[in-house]
Amino acid sequence: MSRSQSRNAWAFLAFPLAIIALFVALPSLAGIVLSFFEWSGGGSPRFIGMENYRALASSGPFAPALRNTLVFALVTVPITTGGAFLIAAALNAEWFRGRTTLRTVLFIPTIVSIVAIGFIWRWVLDPSPAGLLNHALEWFGLERSALPDWLGHGPWGLVTIMGVSIWRGLGFAVVLYLAALGGVPRSMYDAAAVDGATSWQTLWHITWPGVRPMTFFLLITGMIGALQVFDIVLVMIGTSATGWTDVLNLYLYREFTLNRLGYSSAIGVIILLLTIIITAIQWRSLGGAEAGA
């Protein structure tokens, strides 16, 4: 622990930490404080205590946006994580053919710009006869009149958003799981083979616990990301989202564009609180101390 090492360490850390402090940490603190003020960006902010939160709780869009955000997070994250585990386990089996190619194909939606994703899916889901999905469903014998409005503001709109979101996130989780599967010790599989376990039993009792730290990582980071869901709704539905398609973050953005900055910050704080609560619940129930990577 030489003095020169301490000096060098802070030299290496100084600039990165300054950037993070200036553009993330301090603005976040200020944002939390701002949620107790009324401010339009010009002039000086006016302190109004809990007024933003009170107004928020009784506002029309808040309850549906909160509900949709929670439904979105609680549906997409487990399905993406569980589905990715099963796919990765299949790809990882030595009898599986085409693993490398499929890994690449599955990963492509993750790297494509959300704007392009929005364009593509709105076109695939277009309600006109030229829309690919409706065309395909009709070919399978469904009546056009019975098909839902995929991009409307009813519950099907939320289903669409969740579906595209799972479609987009699956490959990322598969690639991470593949990395984790390589780390499960071979001796554990050998023990299972000696015990005469079936493939499904082995998968459930050996493989699944073996990748626990990765499952933990994916659930925690997935939830944090899902509670902030924004751009996928913006590009699929637009800022006019309402009813079943509105989410907290989009509500926040609309208030921001109306220059209601304190109110907008209050919604941000709600998202932060949800993040902390859900992360804490997951940390406890999944045994964060041992499983934490």
Partner 1 sequence: MSERHAILRPNPLSRWLIHAAVYAIALTMLIPFAWMIATSLKTRGEAISSTPTLLPPGWPWQWQWDNYAQAWETANLGRYYINSAVVAIVVTLLAGVHNALAGFALAKMRFAGRRATFTMLLLVMMLPVQVSFIFAYVICGWLGYVDNYQALIVPFLASAFGIFYMRQAIASVPDDLLDAGRIDGFGDFEIFAYIIVPSIKPAVAALAIFTFIASWNSFFWPLIVIDSNDMATLPLAVASLSSQYYTDSWPVQMAAATIITVPLILVFLLFQRAFVEGITLTGIKG
Return d(Cα 79, Cα 77) in angstroms, integer.
6
141 binds partner 1 (CB under 8 A): no
Among the listed ranges 52-60, 70-78, 149-157, 265-273, the one in contact with partner 1 (CB under 8 A) is: 265-273
In the range 146-175, which residues lie near partner 1 by CB under 8 A?
167, 170-171, 175
Return d(Cα 260, Cα 76) in angstroms, integer.
31
The nearest distance, CB 150 to partner 1, in angstroms, is 13
Among 38, 55, 82, 230, interactor with partner 1 by CB under 8 A = 230
- Residue environment code for 207-235, b if the CB has 16+ CB neighbours within 10 A, otherwise e: bbebbeebbbbbbbebbbebbbbebbbbb
In the range 5-44, which residues lie near partner 1 by CB under 8 A?
5-6, 8-10, 12-13, 15-17, 19-20, 22-28, 30-32, 34
Among 48, 70, 71, 124, interactor with partner 1 by CB under 8 A = 124
Binding footprint of partner 1, residue count (CB under 8 A): 113
Phi and psi torsions of 118, nearest 5°: -60, -50
In this structure, the number of other CB atoms found within 10 A of the CB of residue 199 comes to 11
The nearest distance, CB 155 to partner 1, in angstroms, is 22
Nearer to partner 1 by Cβ, of 116 and 142: the residue is: 116
Among the listed ranges 52-60, 71-79, 147-155, 269-277, the one in contact with partner 1 (CB under 8 A) is: 269-277
| Residue whose entry in the numeric block shows the structure tokens 């079943």 | 244
In the range 179-218, which residues lie near partner 1 by CB under 8 A?
179-184, 186, 189-190, 192-193, 199-200, 202-203, 207, 210-214, 217
Residues paired with 38 in a beta bridge: 46
Helix (H, G, I), strand (E, B) or coil at 117: helix
Q: DSSP of 197-266, one letter per residue?
A: --HHHHIIIIIHHHTHHHHHHHHHHHHHHHHT--HHHHHHT-TT--TTS--HHHHHHHHHHTT-HHHHHH
Nearer to partner 1 by Cβ, of 158 and 236: the residue is: 236
92 binds partner 1 (CB under 8 A): yes
Nearer to partner 1 by Cβ, of 39 and 156: the residue is: 39
